[in-house]
Amino acid sequence: MLSLESITKTTQDWLLAKFNPTIALAMECAIVILLAITLFAILGLVLVLLERKVAARIQIRLGPNRVGPGGIFQTAADTLKLIMKEGLTPDTADKFLFNLAPFVVMMVAMLLLAPIAFAKNFQIWDINIGVLYISSISSLSVIGILMAGWASNNKYSLLGAMRSGAQIVSYELSAGFAVLTIVVLTGSLQISEIVAAQQNGWWLFKGHIPVVIAFVLYIIAVTAETNRAPFDLAEAESELTAGFHTEYSGMKFALFFLAEYINIFIVCAIGATLFLGGWMPLHIGHWEGFNHIMDYIPSSVWFMGKTFFLIFIIMWFRWTFPRLRVDQLLNLEWKYLLPISLFNLLLVTVIAIMGWYF
């Protein structure tokens, strides 16, 4: 059966047969980098279009429908426009930091792609501390945003960046604790093992109440972490015009924009991996025939399907809720989500120690 796993294996065998191992490794690295960048670009285009279509559907309108059939080339056209625009740097800005910031944000998003298992045995880097790696790298994105806000020398940008700093640092905690719930149950930080542990059923559907709570907490926390509505205070166009990227234009703005969507993809991919079984197909108990049919659907389709389902939910939030105020945002985290997630972690630890799980 043709699968991503077999393609990678064939490629590796071919490279090893043709070249000596060092050159083969170097070429593999090059291929991976190329693929990651391609994935990045394609995801950006697809997600922006998806967002606009979802928004249009929710808002009783059609959305982009002029460029290409059903408007599918709209984002490509927009990207072309953004590339051709002048990348303005304000006179009073800190030029080095101003130009560096979008790349920092972008780089963080890219690094996060590494440990994600896109399909069965198809993963860039199956690091044994995968979950820890994700948590630590994702907190770096705030540096890029703070940098952008500070270097722009614009008051709206500064306010937006400060809000973003407070927000990401706070919601990281809840997201981290939610992820730890699964780590405690699985006993491993490695992504491949977490997926393998869901062979007999996805964590969310195994009937553990703490996992369901953790899932809800995770979705709320990552919505806040990616600066999405109703937690989009860092951008808050009605309050701060565009927040931290007010002064950015052209491709530098596009990088922020792209990074936002890639971040959404990544957090949803992680959510799908931890709670919805990653690339594992849906199996229902002893329905052998049903399970067998489900196995025929490629694992990459399962993974993408779950991820896009979560992405849809996060988009749905954005077009339904008003924005929270900054103090309400912090109250929600420190007074409600954090205590709940701490208690939830305690509960799940007790369950794990007593062996009350399956």
Partner 1 sequence: MYNQTDIIKDTTNLGPEGELVVNMGPQHPATHGVLHLVVTLNGETIKKIEPHLGYIHRSIEKMCESLTYRQFIYVTSRMDYLSSHINNTACALLVEKGMQIEVPERAKFVRTILNELTRIASHELWIGAMAMDLGAFTPFFYAFREREMITDIMEDTCGARLTMNYIVPGGLMYDIHPEFQTKVKAFIKQFKEKVTEYEDLVTGNIIFQSRTKGVGVLSAEDAISYGCSGPVARASGVSCDIRKIAPYDAYDRVEFDEIIETEGDSFSRYLVRVKEMNQSIRIIEQLIDNIPEGEFVGKTKNVLKLNKGEFYQRVETARGELGVYIVSEGATTPHRIKFRSPGFSNLSVLDHIAKGSKIGDLMATMGTLDLVIPDIDR
Question: Which residues of the shown chain bind partner 1 in the complex (CB under 8 A)?
Answer: 55, 58-61, 155-156, 159, 163, 229-230, 232-233, 236-241, 319-328
Nearest distance from residue 238's CB to partner 1, in Å?
A: 4
DSSP 8-state symbol, 90: -
Choose between 94 and 239: whose C-beta lies nearer to partner 1. Answer: 239
Contact yes or no for 109/144 (Cβ under 8 A) = no
Nearest distance from residue 161's CB to partner 1, in Å?
A: 13
Choose between 172 and 232: whose C-beta lies nearer to partner 1. Answer: 232
Choose between 59 and 199: whose C-beta lies nearer to partner 1. Answer: 59
Task: State both tokens at 10.
Answer: 């064939």
Please name the amino acid found at residue 102.
Answer: P
Nearest distance from residue 233's CB to partner 1, in Å?
A: 8
The alpha-helical segments, DSSP class H, found in the chain are 4-18, 21-58, 74-84, 95-111, 130-138, 141-151, 155-186, 191-196, 209-225, 237-240, 250-275, 288-296, 299-318, 326-331, 338-354
Nearest distance from residue 326's CB to partner 1, in Å?
A: 6
Give the residue from 242, 84, 211 showing the smallest Cα distance to 149.
242
Choose between 105 and 159: whose C-beta lies nearer to partner 1. Answer: 159
Give me the helix-helix angle, 250-275 and 95-111, nearest 10°: 30
Choose between 110 and 229: whose C-beta lies nearer to partner 1. Answer: 229
Nearest distance from residue 213's CB to partner 1, in Å?
A: 19
Choose between 165 and 201: whose C-beta lies nearer to partner 1. Answer: 165
CA dihedral 158, 48, 226, 110 (to 10 degrees): -100
Give the residue from 1, 7, 55 showing the smallest Cα distance to 312.
55
Nearest distance from residue 225's CB to partner 1, in Å?
A: 17
